[in-house]
Amino acid sequence: MEVRLAVELSLVRATARNGGAVMEWQMAKDGIHPPYHPVVFKDSSTGALIITRSTMTSEQKIKMDDGKEYPLILLEITSDSHPFYTGTQRLIDTQGRVDKFKKRYNR
């Protein structure tokens, strides 16, 4: 089972001091945002699991290999199953369609 982990933080400030980069990261301010917690997104067609943080929640839960239980959010399409990302996307021959239309309706 492949599990991907995504972490979302916002860069507040990046400066260079004495030749080295100093970066400060901060999470959202307390009290003004909905709860931001770890969740698991599952691709319904491939079964791929993605662990990330989100404000979404679900009644369904899933226990992962790390022993923790996370809210489970089912997705129909992710980058794991979308034809564009899997390389199975089909190109549409629009020229052929126009020719078929003209031939059918003599225009």
**Rounded to whole angstroms, how far apart are CA atoms 3 and 40?**
9
pLDDT digits (tens, 9 = 90+) for 52-101: 999 998 999 999 999 999 999 999 888 888 877 787 766 566 667 777 78
Task: Find, among 32, 16, 14, the residue nearest to 24 by Cα.
Answer: 14
Residue spans of the domains in the chain: they are 3-84
DSSP state of 33: S
Give SS3 for 85.
helix
pTM of the model as a whole = 0.56
The helix/strand/coil state of 62 is: strand
The pLDDT tens digits of the residues spanning 5-29 come to 554 444 444 444 555 566 666 666 6
Structure tokens at 5: 């982990």
